A and B are shown apart, each in its own frame.
Chain A
Amino acid sequence: MIFTDILGGFETLLNDQYAIWFVLLASFVGIVFGALPGLTAAAAIAMMLPILIAYNDEIGGLAGLAFLYVIGKSGRYGGSIAAILFNTPGTAASAATMQDGYPMTQSGRAGKALKTATISSAFGDYFGEIVLIFGAVFIATFTRKFGPPENFAIYLMAFIIIGSVVSDSIIKGIISTLFGASIALIGEDTITGQFKMTMGIDELESGMALVPLLIGVFVISEVIIQAEKSAKVKMIDMNARGIDDPTAQYFTWAEFKRCLPLMFRSSIIGSLIGMMPGLGSSVACFVAYGEEKRKAKNKDKWGTGVVEGIAAPESANNAVSGPSMIPLLTLGIPGSTIAAVLIGMFLVNGLQVGPQIFATEPPLFMGGQLISPREFIFGMFAAGLVGIACYALIGYFLAPVIGRVISKLPTQYLYPFIFMISIAASYSSRASIWDVGFALLFGVIGYGMRRTNFSAAAFIIAFVLTASMEEAFRQSMIISDNGLMLFLSFEYQNKFSYAPIFLIIGTAVVVFRAISSQRAKSKAGS
């Protein structure tokens, strides 16, 4: 059944006249954005989202969704180019790659480092995509039975988990979540139609839009930081002379065979971390790097430029990509910022994220074809599988060239250009000048959050989740005879309730995180 669905997904993708081209374009755009120091896939998505939404009817829903989905993957990979060539991680997910990637570049083996990163990223990404496809379909059959109390408990659990794991400080992570949730409550009440917390501003009656927030916290805050640094990307000579190694620019078959078990183990780590809402690639890359270094026979050489030191974090951080979609597709909870943004794209196409997305009815009319939600979602999976191959091919052959071009880009023109694109994108989301003002405001807030260790990711995820959470809460209260006790009861409307289990899991994660954080502090102190 599932293999038929996968083949059907490829058919859906290839029958869409735009989707395949958007996949190819996204592979390239993601690599470039990921490789630009400071800019991430989330920033690229924030700038592209209003344009894709505006053209959604013309290009068909699958093309836009595939574009954003693939940018998330190729952007993660692109970060490794900056880490290896510029000693600056393009994204937080590539921070561990720097430790062995840059020493390899310094010793004239940049080609080998880049090719190792490309192959291990693609390996990890394919692994994660397979976990996503099989895992999501399996879990969705179970979660489809959940009612409002379970949904509210899941949202609350996600809030607690994301808030507690996403930042260095549990309390700051949770405050970031509360802040995002409070902003999301501005606007019209979904049940009574009352206007809430609009501060007397008419433009806020329809709520705060996602795009200005995304642009503010991810793009404008980064532009401010770049303006402060006035930094230029510096790349050392990739073709250093005097290297007596004919394989200096290649990832050899022998090295691949040596790294294969390590890539496999790291992909498992990445996939498991990816399934946890809030824990992203940046955690996975360090866990995999640390674990493989601990196991390695040549651990004293790690950090001086060994291919294993690139293969482990790159497999792990890309293996996060697919499984981070599992909470979204099975529970409606975005596990990452990119997944949070994808909700918007699903909604534009009339699809409510959650387990019902794997249903075969009702059919949707997209890109000139009548397809079921299940076919649509498998079309997205197919786009992911094709996108991985595309970015791997582009990266394998063009990564050094992309790196060279980026190192020559005049940053004093580039970042102002990105700023203006962001401003234009903020305006274009609702054609409102207020949204430009909100983007600027959240740019400053995002800058402050970065400087004081608050989490922008938790803020955005909470913003996206809160409307559904409030709805589930209010619906639960309507059916409850016991008020809030409904969430602690194992039964409602004569059926078993999983709500207390989710609340226990959430509490357990916070307690575990608090204890491990306390232990780490004590260790550092001693």
Chain B
Amino acid sequence: MLHENYKTKVEYGVSATVILVGLFFIYQASTIGSSKEMFGPDAMPFALSISTVFGGVWLAYRAFRGKVGAVQAGYGFLESDLKRISWVIGSGAAFILTFYLFGYFLAIILGYTLMLLSFGVRDKVKILVSTLLMAFVFQWLFMGIMRLNDPSGALLDLRPYTNIISGE
């Protein structure tokens, strides 16, 4: 019963999210310019977003009637570890910020270091060695072999040095 109550609460949250997403897309669809056609570029976006809102309302109605069913393994956020999730997302966000400010090479170093920390690695030597190895391999593979765009950092341009690794 306790679990069913929990699932009902989660389902209310889910339905609210779905309705908000639907409303967001309705707003976005309303920004599309009109056309002479009866079914122009905004027809499909409106149809889909309105259906999404209806879907959300249906989910809420189902939760209201208590017809959410039993909680299955892996359902819900009871087992979620917010700290770990934040670490992973934070590592990605740090990668993006570092990439913008200091370039790809340092972004790889910081991103991988944070990911190792989020997976519980604490041995400093192992972190240092594996991170440097990773940064060199990625710089060589993606910027050297695949020749991706390697932009300068907004604060620091390390490309005179990292180009040696990329072979440019």
Query: Chain A: residues with CB nearer than 8 A to chain B?
Result: 51, 54-55, 168, 171-172, 174-175, 178-179, 181-182, 185, 189, 191-192, 194, 196-197, 199, 220, 223-224, 227-228, 230, 411-413, 415-417, 419-420, 423-424, 427-428, 431, 433, 436-437, 439-440, 443-444, 447-448, 450-453, 466, 469-470, 473-474, 477-478, 483, 521, 524
Contact = CB atoms under 8 A, between A and B. Distances in A.
A194 B149 contact: no
A452 B146 contact: no
A451 B75 contact: yes
Contact of B41 (A192, A450, A483, A524): A192
Interface in B100-126: 100, 108, 111-112, 115-116, 118-121
B85 A424 contact: no
B80 A470 contact: no
Contacts of B85: 224, 227-228, 444, 447
A521 B67 CA distance: 10
Given A411-B119, A412-B121, A428-B146, A440 B92 contact: yes
A417 B38 CA distance: 51
Residue among A191, A227, A427 with the highest chain B CB neighbour number at 10 A: A227
A171 B55 CA distance: 7
B120 A412 contact: yes
B159 interface: no
Interface in B29-76: 29, 31-33, 35, 37-45, 48-49, 51-52, 55-56, 58-59, 62, 67, 69-70, 72, 74-76
Given A171-B62, A197-B29, A521-B69, A427 B148 contact: yes
A521 B69 CA distance: 8
B25 interface: yes
Given A197-B32, A220-B88, A477-B38, 7 more contacts: A175-B56, A227-B81, A228-B80, A416-B112, A423-B92, A436-B96, A443-B89
20 contacts: A55-B146, A171-B62, A178-B52, A182-B52, A192-B40, A197-B29, A197-B32, A227-B84, A227-B119, A413-B121, A416-B119, A416-B121, A417-B134, A419-B115, A420-B138, A431-B149, A433-B96, A436-B99, A451-B80, A470-B44
A466 B43 CA distance: 13
Contacts, number: 171
B39 A54 contact: no
Residue among A175, A189, A450 with the highest chain B CB neighbour number at 10 A: A175
Residue among A181, A437, A450 with the highest chain B CB neighbour number at 10 A: A181
B112 to A, nearest CB: 5
A287 B65 CA distance: 31
Contact of B134 (A181, A420, A428, A443): A420
Contacts of B44: 181, 185, 466, 469-470, 473
B91 interface: yes
A412 B28 CA distance: 41
A440 B55 CA distance: 26
B165 interface: no
A517 B100 CA distance: 50
B52 to A, nearest CB: 5
Given A220-B92, A443-B92, A196 B76 contact: no
A228 B84 contact: yes
A199 B119 contact: no
A524 B67 CA distance: 13
A167 to B, nearest CB: 12
Nearest to A223: B88
Interface in B2-18: 10-11, 14, 17-18
A250 B17 CA distance: 53
Contacts of A443: 88-89, 92
A192 B35 CA distance: 9
B45 A196 contact: yes
